[in-house]
Amino acid sequence: MKPHMAKGSRSRSAVPGRLSGWAPATALLLAVTTSCTGSAPGSGAVVGKPGTAGVGDRLFPALGNGGYDVVHYGLTLDYVPETNHLKGTAVITARATEDLSRFNLDLSGLRVRTTTVQGARAKVACSGDEMLVTPAKTVRNREVFKTVVTYDGTPRTLKDGDGGMEGWIETDDGSTALGQPSGSMTWFPGNHHPSDKATYDTTVTVPKDEDGDPYDVISNGELITEEDKGRTVTRHWRTEEPMASYLAHVSVGCFEIHQGGTDDDVPVYVAIDPDEAEDSADVADLVPEIVDWAGKRFGPYPFSSTGAIVDHLPGLDYALETQTKPYFGEAPEETLLVHELAHQWFGNSVTPREWKDMWLSEGLATYAEWLWEEGRGNRSTTEIFEDFYDGTDAESGGIWAFPPADPPSGGRVFDPPVYGRGAMVVHKLRRAVGDETFFDILRTWTRQHRHGNADTRQFIALCESKSGKDLTALFHTWLFDKKKPSRM
Ligand SMILES: [Zn+2]
């Protein structure tokens, strides 16, 4: 993600309104959990226990669920833009990590119609943004099990107090779905935490408009089939590589499609809203250029396709690195395109294990912008570092508010320290170990944790083993110390 700094360095998540709304839901859920435990049938039989209602993330305790790991989401959606009505079937294939008498899915604002687990009708109770699913039979540890949920309703836009929005958002010609940190629960039930990555098949049926033209549907991964059924069109997109649910995406609307390829033959799919076409004339050429440039520095491109979506969504105050095709609500600046494409390596392929590790995603994506600017012959990375340190760079406001690897709770993980000071840590590291070791560290990082999750401790350990240096003081000062570090 990158907030639009030109409109101020506000964080859309910094306002406590929505976040404080989660706390009562969690409290209520705990009460429900207690009463359900006592109703397990039989004695002495293996009945398992309920999975937890969150994965225990320090910054977002209610997100995700315990007791299972999703392998695949099969999402079949019917969407009518005129009425903003969504009807969905989610087939969730998961592996249990304990005996489960019950487990939770995160879903916000939609009506659940039916739920089955392993083909048998399951009991469902909904509490806040949590679905409590009690299968007919205990799911055994390590069992791969299928949950099918049918649901419908008007999908929600989640908003915070200063107008920032995520979730399902209506546009002037359709809709878009953005999920950082929690918006994906507004359009499909799941385990909505970055630590649980899965592959996806997303099939969306939309009607034709009044002129008989079909709406376009763009999603992550590759377009597998497109079927004209007369009054409707169905498009099937597949994401073959694991994806954190905050990166799952669907855009419905009118788009001009540009297809091409990178030097390494990675297919490029760029979708541009006609209202943004004039200002986005260079995007279709820049995407492969940036992906090739980044591949030389960060290691091979991690996914089977790349691209971008430039929509027309005035008022969206950020861009998002939705997997394989980052999303922009307006024509992007070149460095913003670099930032979101760099996330395909840092954040999307190597995903933070917890939200507090987000500096590994945002700090490295921001540093990619610095490298790009240096490569274009503008400021050197050292000059940019100095401009951030002195506060003269336009994006340096607020970067000393807290240490980047220890963000306060309440959604401030999207605040400037995680980006600006996060990139400064990366520059300090590069200066300490030299260019050769530095880029070796980045390429090793993306290779070792490709399509997985990783954390700050692992990054520090890699930097020390590659460089043979004790980097404790550097990381302590720049990542964890509350004070503004001295220049040295
Ligand atoms: Zn970002």
What stretch of H or E contains 85? Answer: strand 85-96
- One domain for residues 325 and 359: no
- One digit per residue, the tens of pLDDT, for the chain of length 488 reads 999 864 333 343 333 233 333 333 333 333 333 222 223 333 335 579 999 998 889 998 889 999 999 999 999 999 999 999 999 999 999 999 999 999 999 999 999 999 999 999 999 999 999 999 999 999 999 999 999 999 999 999 998 756 689 999 999 999 999 999 999 999 999 999 999 999 999 999 999 988 888 899 999 999 999 999 999 999 999 999 999 999 999 999 999 999 999 999 999 999 999 999 999 999 999 999 999 999 999 999 999 999 999 999 999 999 999 999 999 999 999 999 999 999 999 999 999 999 999 999 999 999 999 999 999 999 999 999 999 999 999 999 999 999 999 999 877 889 999 999 999 999 999 999 999 999 999 999 999 999 999 999 999 999 999 999 999 999 999 999 999 999 76
Long-range Cβ contacts of 262-265 (<8 Å, 24+ apart): 262/288, 262/291, 262/292, 262/295, 262/301, 262/306, 263/288, 263/292, 264/292, 264/295, 264/300, 264/301
- One domain for residues 126 and 236: yes
295 lies in a domain? no
* CA 311 to centroid of ligand 1, rounded, Å: 18
CA-to-CA dists, residue 198 to 100, 149, 248, 348, 441, angstroms: 20, 17, 10, 12, 26
* CA 99 to centroid of ligand 1, rounded, Å: 37
261 lies in a domain? no
427 lies in a domain? yes
* CA 320 to centroid of ligand 1, rounded, Å: 7
- One domain for residues 471 and 409: yes
Reference 148, options 105, 178, 179; nearest CA is 105
* CA 447 to centroid of ligand 1, rounded, Å: 20
- The answer for residues whose C-beta is within 8 angstroms of residue 30's C-beta and 6 or more apart is 53
339 lies in a domain? no
- The dihedral built from the CA positions of residue 464, 467, 473 and 478, taken in this order, carries a sign that is negative
Supply the angle between the helices 422-433 and 456-467 in degrees, to the nearest 10.
20
pLDDT recorded at residue 209: 83
* CA 61 to centroid of ligand 1, rounded, Å: 22
- One domain for residues 99 and 189: yes
Pair of tokens at residue 214? 């079909």
* CA 178 to centroid of ligand 1, rounded, Å: 13
450 lies in a domain? yes
Q: Which domain holds residue 103?
A: 2-255+311-332
* CA 218 to centroid of ligand 1, rounded, Å: 21
- The answer for residues whose C-beta is within 8 angstroms of residue 166's C-beta and 6 or more apart is 12, 157, 158, 178, 179, 180, 181, 182, 183
Supply the CATH number for residue 373's domain. 1.10.390.10
185 lies in a domain? yes
- One domain for residues 387 and 460: yes
* CA 361 to centroid of ligand 1, rounded, Å: 7
Q: What is the pLDDT of residues 63-88, one digit of tens each?
A: 999 999 999 999 999 999 999 999 99
342 lies in a domain? no
- The answer for residues whose C-beta is within 8 angstroms of residue 122's C-beta and 6 or more apart is 115, 116, 133, 134, 135, 136, 147
Reference 292, options 266, 269, 272, 271; nearest CA is 266
- One domain for residues 327 and 385: no
* CA 2 to centroid of ligand 1, rounded, Å: 4
Cα Rg of the chain (Å, integer): 22
Last residue of a domain, one of 303, 332, 361: 332
Last residue of a domain, one of 332, 361, 395: 332
* CA 462 to centroid of ligand 1, rounded, Å: 23
pLDDT recorded at residue 344: 98
* CA 211 to centroid of ligand 1, rounded, Å: 38
60 lies in a domain? yes
* CA 272 to centroid of ligand 1, rounded, Å: 21
- One domain for residues 323 and 382: no
pLDDT recorded at residue 7: 38
Supply the CATH number for residue 67's domain. 2.60.40.1730
- One domain for residues 126 and 67: yes
Question: Ligand 1 (ion): which residues have CB within 5 A?
Answer: 1-2, 362, 365
- One domain for residues 372 and 474: yes
Number of domains in the chain: 2
* CA 359 to centroid of ligand 1, rounded, Å: 9
- One domain for residues 425 and 325: no
- One domain for residues 365 and 426: yes
* CA 199 to centroid of ligand 1, rounded, Å: 22
- One domain for residues 229 and 318: yes
* CA 333 to centroid of ligand 1, rounded, Å: 14
